[in-house]
Structures are given as structure tokens and as C-alpha cells.
Amino acid sequence: MSTTIDVYSTTDVFPLVHQTRARTEMLFRELLARHGIDSTLDVTAFYPRERGEELRMVPPDVR
């Protein structure tokens, strides 16, 4: 199963992409565990794109 979740900062200070990715994985893993669901998560950051554009991953050291 795959899903897309848009994550936006609530402050004007953005953490590094790898920090946001790791925290998102942890929070979703905890949420699923509370409901008794064993899970394997892999959160990946991509730049927004228009239809037909190539998919571009965000480097981990970007804010």
C-alpha cells in the first residue's frame, strides 16, 4: 500500500528533510502499533511536480 501525505511546518524554521522523514516514520509506527497493526514504513520526500514531469527526490540535507 502506498499513500501521499503533505507535511508542512508550523513554524518558519524547517528541520532537515531526513529529520522530518524519521519523525514522521516514528509517529506513524506508534499510531499503527496503538491499533495493533504491525508495520513497515518508508517515508520518502519528493519535490512537487506537474503531470509528465520526472519524479525528483529531495536530498536529506535540505531544509
Is residue 30 domain-resident? yes
The answer as to whether 1 is a domain residue is no
Q: If you write DSSP's letter for every residue of 1-62 in order, what string do you get? A: ---------SSS-PPPHHHHHHHHHHHHHHHHHHTT---------B----TTSPP-BPPTT-
pLDDT of residue 43: 83
Q: Does residue 59 have a pLDDT over 90?
A: no
* 6-56: pLDDT as tens digits: 766 666 776 788 888 888 889 888 999 999 998 888 888 888 888 999 988
25: in domain:
yes
Backbone angles phi, psi at 46, to 5 degrees: -125, 150
For the chain, the domain total comes to 1
Domain residues for the domain of 20 are 15-40
Please report whether residue 20 resides in a domain.
yes
State yes or no: pLDDT of 60 exceeds 80.
Answer: no
Residue 24 placed within a domain: yes
| Separation CA 21–CA 15 (nearest Å) | 10
For the full predicted model, state whether its pTM sits above 0.85. no
Q: Tell me if 59 is assigned to some domain.
A: no
